[in-house]
Structure 1
Amino acid sequence: MTTGPLLLLLIAASLALTPPPASASTLAVSPGGGSGAAATPTVCGVLDYNGTLACAPVSGSGSASSNATASAVASPLAFAEVSAGAGFACGLQAGGAALFCWPPSPAPGWDSLRRVYAGPAGALSGVAVGANQVAAYDAAAAAPGSILWWRGGGQFPASADGNFTSLVSADGFSCALLAANASVRCWGPSGGAVQAGFGNATGLAYLAAGGARACAVESSSGAVLCSGSGSDSGSVPVSGAANASLPRDLYGLAVGDAHACGLHRLNSTAVCWTLGGPTTTQFEPALGVQFELLAAGGNVTCGVVSVDFSVLCWTLGTDATPVPLRGVLPGVCVQNESACPCGAVTPQSQRLCGGSGGGVICNPLGCDAVPPVPPPSGPPSPAPASTPAPPSSSSSRVSKAWIAFAVVGAVGAFAGLCSVVYCLVFGFCSNKRVHNSVQPNLTTTAAEGGSNNNHNNGGGGSVGASPYGSPNGSRARALFRRQLSRVMTRQRSGPSSFKDPAEEFTVAQLEAATGGFSPEAKIGEGSFGTVYRGKLADGREVAIKRGESTGPRARRFQEKESAFRSELAFLSRLHHKHLVGLVGYCEEKEERMLVYEYMKNGALYDHLHPKPPGPAAAANPSPVASSWKLRIKILLDASRGIEYLHSYAVPPIIHRDIKSSNILLDAAWTARVSDFGLSLMGPLPSPEDEEQPPVPRSQSQQRHWLQVKAAGTVGYMDPEYYGLHHLTVKSDVYGFGVVMLESLTGRRAIFKEAEGGSPVSVVDHAVPSVVAGELGRVLDPRAPAPAPHEAEALELVAYTAVHCVRLEGKDSPAMADIVANLETALALCEGSAGRGGGAALGRDSSSSASLSATSMDRSGMLAC
């Protein structure tokens, strides 16, 4: 039982001794330093499909011009790495046998290329270009981390013997980390000053350099250390001491002339800050966007987006914008896992490296990396561990550091082996198990596109796909209709109007509005925050979400900050009648608060699952409890808000926490979707995804989901996301399907049939009855018996929900289809659907099918 924590402790203890991966990159930014085309900032990247190199211009605002295109660099050649400085850019040919350099032009020609080095295969790696020098590792040297230099005007040594990692270059210096203790060593005319700025700091990682500065992360504390000064004499040097104003727990640093950026360990989003001035300013250029790596040059920073490996660029204080580079390799390919710290590799790296001569891409987090989620069938296989060999030397003396590392590595390997044996014997490695009636188990099938939805649950612990496929008979036909045009969809969802800028409040103002955040003002909980009702000085009623301050201080503040930034960014830019309205925010010291429009009638959850009623509640029952029409209207309102997020935000926004407690009701009972603290920007859908029925994922389609650690509320999470960490817009569709079943049955997402019984999900409770045509058995008994036209509407809502909660997202409908069905259901409730009467619930009827437009039934499968 203690092997898991012991293993984590040993890994954490050995992190400072593990040499971080080299800073070689597949993305580079040159600020430009010449005239004409050479003066234009340029971003270059190694393309993942064939290893060729392409460059694109970047404007002063960090974006490409409207007619900018990417230009190939020596397209017959495949490259492994690229690096750039103010004077030129260089690419290392795949295999490490040749090094080419060219002026930093957005469209260099063959005549611009100069071969700086030619040698045997694998001779070079880790290219790092500065203002006028090129450095790289010499694989043929006695010590594997020895460094060679070219150009540089005689200001750099020809070589430096030793075991170095994380080689970087900038204006007037090159630096690397000494593998033995991860301390900084620098060369060149400015190298001594930069090295001195880091002092005696050891255990450093993620070294980066740009302009006249270098930065690194202290492994033990997570603090960012920077050294160097600007080229202007009035700039303030940045010392190597930990700066409390800089962000913490970052990786993947990139440094420009007067700024630096890094990636949050928590969510891989980018944060940047200024360097060299009297104060430090932080900003986040692409809230909610996850990056694989960053590169900087001059005042421009660019990053490879995790979703589709496209490139976004920005300058200091501006939002990230796309440049015409897509499919950039998310890291340098190495031969195998043994070249990566702890054997940690990025997902899909073997496939991505097929075209560039390598084997895998190391995960930049190294020993801290979260391993990819294994397929659900079969026991988990441990990630291969590797122990770096000590540096070779003619001396027989072995350093004490390597002896300590070997001991720690051996103990860690033994503990890991014990953990694997424990997992195999007891059948699980998770700290938290969820009953299979709460989250359905997953299975992989031989063909994803198979139409058989009836699999037996074998004794191996994994169950087949849900036995509740398309409703049988006439109910399976014409349940969803594909819309004639996206214009019609936009009209149905309602317009989005111009949004006034959010107001900034002080803590004192919001304390006064809530009576000092009194318990009486508390009205609910949100992601990482408590919600209070308040009244501003001008009389406006508002809801105020205040970030929690309890728990482990450092981690809790980071989570609170991430949720605050995410929600503020999304709600500041989005405005729709079915999304909660943001009034303003408060950001003062460690306080983070968001101010919303007050929703007088609370959350849908409170009306579907009220607390034990008292005399007042009996006298004034909720209209939601007594009206099927109002329930359907609320569902329609919420679906329109979610459709707006999925269809009209570019990239689409995935809410990640759709549930009844996040659907709020205003004074007029209009529903609005709330709580964007967990939201992320999703992958862009391809035209084929929008126009064609779903097909099994091919290799070219594998990027239309995000590989993200599961977050949300158990019972509402999509099984593909919960089990495989595959996040798509269909994850929100699943959560909304659960909300629909809640609204029909009055049951919580997870409930117990009787006191002391096992937990049951509303999906497993309701879907069998719906598929059997016996919806009446599971309808909320607190609501009145539905009239015939209401019965028909509820049947349509129920079948829509069944399709939303299917195990595979490719089989579930888009939000546009859900909106269309709920509109039909509401029209039925109002008696305006063009039909009289209807079928009673629990009887086999084709009425709902005939009302649902054109049939999309193909080979027994509903194509939505």
Structure 2
Amino acid sequence: MKIFIGFLFVFISDFKFTNAASKSLIIMSAISVPESSPVAPPIPSVPSSVADISSGTEASSKNHHMKPSKKLLIELITASSVMGIILLSFMYFWMCHRKKVYKSGKVGSKKLDSLRGLPLSSFISRSSGAIKSNNEKGSVVVMDYNLLESATSNFGESEILGVGGFGCVYKARLDDSLCVAVKRLDGGSQDAVKEFQTEVDLLSKIQHPNIITLLGYCVHDETKLLVYELMHNGSLETQLHGPSSGSNLTWHGRMKIALDTARGLEYLHENCKPSVIHRDLKSSNILLDSSYNAKLSDFGLAVMDGAQNKNNIKLSGTLGYVAPEYLLDGKLTDKSDVYAFGVVLLELLLGRRPVEKLAESQCQSIVTWAMPQLTDRSKLPNIVDPVIRYTMDLKHLYQVAAVAVLCVQPEPSYRPLITDVLHSLIPLVPVELGGTLRVVQTRPSVTNEP
């Protein structure tokens, strides 16, 4: 509409210019014709036919001079109209571009403020618990730094739940009914920033009963905070190797933890698109809620399959859990997670740490120590964790040991897929704990099979 009005305005202006030009030509023609001529000698009479030809030639000469003038005027009108349209179009698109830039700049400034954890009303509301989602797909919740600082008693030592590679995990009480876990990452090293970004990106898109839930995050200067659901029974590592030494974990309870862990890994390997390799599966990254349900945590080292060349990824992980092909050759696949799962399964079965010190400069892995005895049915019951020794059906013990042996095979192609591991564990877990086993008798078996 704006372009049409501009065109009409240019056309009217050009039309006025045309009329004025025509009038000026007529006036100039009238002036150029003399009213009287000087006296001349008499001219012989000319035949009428010749006179007619002469007058016709004069008229055609006038028309010949008039046509180029009209043609020139039409070209001027057309050129003016086209220029007017181009100028108006340029002005219109320039105004639209300026408006778009202004809006994007405004949105960008809001996002920047939210990433810094500022208490903006568009992201955070103190009156509504200081948490508000932006309701976008794959989005995460931004939380107020001052609230988290207050909820953790200024990150006091009394609130520490655990210590990680880049910082501590604190218990935080947001209100009377909500407690959460806050992981604090201090410093701005490249590795810390990368792990923080990976954790936020992955957990904001993943929802599964056996994977930790990310409730929110906050960036405040050089400090980065991750807020998770609180897991009341801590990590599997603490339960097995801490003060209780595994006394809270029965045989069936341990098999349930193994099953939950396998389900979480299967979701990452089979259901995520693209698939995800955890790359740091270990007992300290398996957390237990109040009912001892297990959930995978700490996705800072996770890798999405296909996102990059996995063979060029910087070697990371924890000694004792790292698969040999990844440790020696840098080859990373989902079978690397299966190897780490096998080590965790051995921890549950034997109650030993993944790596134990023999002498001041010598260490021995649980795989090296246990492998010769796992396949010997006469020796296997004697190396089981004393807390659960002789409390299980020996057939089930042999089956779990066989699964563990397959998972920790040096050659990746010999290891099963995590889906196969999952299906082999389901019949060993009671129905009430998520498996298919129907317990007929509770009396433990104490005799060894031949």
> How would you bin the TM-score normalised by the shorter chain?
0.5 to 0.7
Shift of 1:756: 4.1
**Shift of the alpha carbon at 1:740?**
0.3
State the match for 1:597 in structure 2: 229
Structure 1 pair 520/279, CA: closer, same or farther in 2 (3 Å)?
A: closer
For residue 832 of structure 1, the aligned residue among 438, 441, 450 is 438
Aligned-partner residue type, residue 832 of structure 1: R
Q: Which amino acid aligns with 1:658?
A: L
- What is aligned with 1:633? 256
- TM-score normalised according to structure 1 size: 0.35
Residue pair 2:391, 2:445 contacting (<8 A) in 1 also: no
1:750 aligns with 2:358: no
Instruction: Classify 1:830/1:628 alpha carbon distance in 2 versus 1 (closer, same or farther; 3 Å).
Output: farther
Partner of residue 338, structure 2:
733
| Contact kept in structure 1, 2:186 and 2:222, CA below 8 Å | no
2:313 to 696, 708, 713: 708
Query: CA-to-partner distance for each residue in 1:21-50, whole Å, 9 max, x for gaps?
Result: xxxxxxxxxxxxxxxxxxxxxxxxxxxxxx
User: Quick check: 1:587 aligned with 2:225?
Assistant: no
Give the Cα separation in 1 of the matches to 2:426 and 2:111: 48
1:670-709 correspondence to structure 2 within 5 Å? 670-683=293-306, 706-709=311-314
Amino acid at match of 1:641: G
1:224-243 matches, cutoff 5 A: none
Aligned match for 2:155, one of 517, 526, 532: 517
Which of 116, 133, 143 is the matching residue for 1:505? 143
Q: Using the alignment, how far apart are the partners of 2:427 and 2:210 within structure 1?
A: 19
* Aligned twin of 1:768: 372
Task: Name the structure 1 match of 2:277.
Answer: 654
Is 1:795 aligned to 2:428, yes or no? no
Q: CA deviation at 1:706?
A: 3.9
CA distance in 1, matches of 2:238, 2:206: 26
- Seq. identity, %: 36
SS of residue matched to 2:262: helix
The one-letter amino acid paired with 2:267 is Y
Paired residues in the alignment total 326
1:721 to 310, 317, 326: 326
Distance in structure 2 (CA, Å) of the matches to 1:536 and 1:579: 22
1:822 match: 425
**Bigger helix fraction:** 2
Alpha-carbon distance between aligned partners in 2 of 1:722 and 1:593, rounded to the nearest angstrom: 31
| Structure 1 residues 232 and 762: alpha-carbon distance in aligned structure 2, compared to 1, 3 A threshold | farther
CA contact (8 A) 1:792 1:839 kept: no
Report if aligned partners of 1:514, 1:535 keep a CA contact under 8 Å in 2.
yes
Deviation at 1:777, TM superposition (A): 2.8
The one-letter amino acid paired with 1:531 is V
1:32-71 aligned at under 5 Å gives the runs none
Structure 2: distance between partners of 1:534 and 1:548: 17
2:292 equivalent to 1:669: yes
Query: Structure 1 residues 661, 278: closer, same or farther in 2, change over 3 A?
Result: closer
8 Å contact kept, 2:281–2:340:
yes
Q: State the 1:781 CA deviation.
A: 1.8
Is the 1:715–1:749 Cα contact (8 Å) retained in structure 2? yes
Q: Is the counterpart of residue 530 in structure 1 residue 155 in structure 2?
A: no
Write out aligned runs for 1:205-224 (5 A). Answer: none
Q: Any idea what the Cα deviations from partners look like across 1:280-326, whole Å, max 9, x if unmatched?
A: 988xxxxxxxxxxxxxxxxxxxxxxxxxxxxxxxxxxxxxxxxxxxx
Q: Which amino acid in the other structure matches residue 438 of structure 2?
A: S
**8 Å contact kept, 1:545–1:594:** yes
1:44-90: CA deviations, max 9, x gaps?
A: xxxxxxxxxxxxxxxxxxxxxxxxxxxxxxxxxxxxxxxxxxxxxxx
- State how 1:382-421 maps to structure 2 within 5 Å: none
Which aligned runs of 4 or more in structure 1 are off by greater than 6 angstroms? Answer: 231-236, 277-282, 833-841
Residues 652, 637 of structure 1: alpha-carbon distance in 2 compared, 3 angstrom cutoff: same
> Which SS does the other structure have where 1:797 is aligned?
helix
Give the gaps of 5 or more residues in structure 1.
1-230, 237-257, 259-273, 283-497, 550-555, 612-616, 685-702, 845-864
CA deviations 1:346-376 (Å, max 9, x no partner) are: xxxxxxxxxxxxxxxxxxxxxxxxxxxxxxx
Q: Is the contact made by 2:355 and 2:363 (CA closer than 8 Å) also made in structure 1?
A: yes
Label 1:526 to 1:765 Cα distance change in 2 as closer, same or farther (>3 A).
same
What is the CA–CA distance in structure 1 between the aligned matches of 2:156 and 2:441, rounded to whole Å?
Answer: 54
Aligned-partner residue type, residue 568 of structure 1: V
Structure whose alpha-carbon radius of gyration is higher = 2
State the Cα deviation string for residues 801-822 of structure 1 (Å, max 9, x = none). 1111111211101111111111
Aligned to 2:181: 543
Deviation (angstroms), 1:794: 2.0
For the Cα contact (< 8 Å) 1:510–1:536, is it kept in 2? yes
Alpha-carbon spacing, 1:823–1:280, altered in 2? closer, same or farther (3 Å): closer
1: distance between equivalents of 2:108 and 2:167?
34
| Matching residue's letter, 1:762 | I
Asked if the contact 1:503–1:584 (Cα under 8 Å) also holds between the matched residues in 2, the reply is yes
Checking the alignment, whether the CA contact within 8 Å between 1:499 and 1:574 is kept in structure 2 is no
Q: How far apart are residue 840 of structure 1 and its match?
A: 6.5
* TM, length-normalised to structure 2: 0.65
Change (3 A) 1:757 1:628: farther
Superposed CA RMSD:
3.5
Change (3 A) 1:799 1:592: same
State whether residues 543 and 597 of structure 1, in contact with CA within 8 Å, keep that contact through their aligned partners in structure 2: yes
The residue number in structure 1 matching 2:241 is 609
Partner of 1:454: none
Query: Equivalents in 1 of 2:445, 2:385: separation in Å?
Result: 19
User: How far is the alpha carbon of 1:707 from its aligned partner?
Assistant: 3.3
Q: Does the aligned pair in 2 maintain the 1:502–1:585 contact within 8 Å?
A: yes
Quick check: which one's strand share is greater?
Answer: 1
